[in-house]
Amino acid sequence: MKRIHIFLHVPYETPGCIETWIKEKGYFCSSTELYAGEVIPDISEVDWLIVMGGPMSVHDTDIYPWLLEEKKFIEEAVTREKVIIGICLGSQLIAEVLGSSVYKNNFKEIGWLPVEKNPEIADLSLLKRFNEIETVFHWHGDTFSIPNGAVHGFSSEGCVNQCFIYNNRIIGLQFHVEVMETLLESMIENGIDELVPDKYIQDAALMRRGAHNIKRNNELMFSILDGMDELDV
């Protein structure tokens, strides 16, 4: 049985449909609420690491000193060739650990916006269920450079680097295909101050009208998890 551990940075950015997939598979799931001061487990107790999102920056170590310990754990997970999945902040933390820069994007992206698949990865099995263009849920202001040795997965009009895959065991996603209705509502509620008029920021009403995209987003999240599961044998 796989042992999947989840890092949580705020109480309102939950694993969404990732947790549903884990339960359906019957895998063991544990988590660390880093924001609450919970202790990180020993790396030997973890097969997969899933790093969720949050409103902080990877550089905010003075405000959130637990980020330093988290980065060390991610680095060890990389060294030990664990399966690692990062969402939004999680992807940025992994990118930094892999030697990339993390910096403010030219625009914030918030809402249901399209991403385009890199044509060079058309045959990549991990992303085979993704169409050339998919509408996915975003909520980020920072971005990353693609790590050396990684494959560039997706881009959007507002943000060039939306996804990377490293060694077929690590994936970083800027966007939130794990989103469910409850997660959508909690992110809107807790991030309402960010919903100011801008080129790639939707208002709450428009985001709620886009909830019909959740089913497709979850299918895509499941396809990534299934792909990782098939590779991790």
pLDDT along the chain (233 residues), means of 10: 97 98 98 98 98 98 98 98 98 98 98 95 86 97 98 97 96 98 98 97 98 98 97 79
What's the pLDDT score for residue 80? Answer: 97
CA 133 → CA 119, 168, 172, distances in Å?
Answer: 11, 22, 18
What's the pLDDT score for residue 114? Answer: 98
User: Mind listing the pLDDT tens digit for each residue in 87-131?
Assistant: 999 999 999 999 999 999 999 999 999 999 999 887 788 999 999
- Residue 199's contacts (CB-CB under 8 Å, 6 or more residues apart) are 107, 158
Q: Using an 8 Å Cβ cutoff, are 170 and 147 in contact?
A: no
Q: What is the CATH number of the domain that holds 78?
A: 3.40.50.880
Amino acid letter at 211?
A
Long-range pairs, 26-30, Cβ under 8 A, ≥24: 26/1, 27/1, 27/2, 27/3, 28/1, 28/2, 28/3, 28/4, 29/4, 29/5, 30/3, 30/4, 30/5, 30/6
Range of the domain at 163: 3-231
What's the pLDDT score for residue 124? Answer: 84
Structural domains in the chain (count) = 1
What are the E-state strand segments in the chain? Answer: 3-8, 28-33, 48-51, 83-87, 102-117, 133-144, 151-152, 154-155, 163-166, 170-173
By the 10 Å C-beta count (0-12 exposed, 13-18 middle, 19+ buried), 27 is classed as: middle
Q: Count Cβ neighbours within 10 Å for each residue of 12-26 and write b for 16 or more, e otherwise.
A: bbbbbbbbebbeeee
pTM of the shown model: 0.97
Amino acid letter at 228?
M
Q: Which two tokens stand for residue 3?
A: 């042992």
Nearest Cα to Cα of residue 162 among 77, 74, 85, 88: 88
What's the pLDDT score for residue 3? Answer: 98
CA 144 → CA 90, 99, 105, 220, distances in Å?
Answer: 11, 10, 8, 22
198: DSSP letter: B
pLDDT above 90 covers a percentage of the chain that reads 95
What's the pLDDT score for residue 57? Answer: 98
What's the pLDDT score for residue 121? Answer: 83
What's the pLDDT score for residue 184? Answer: 98
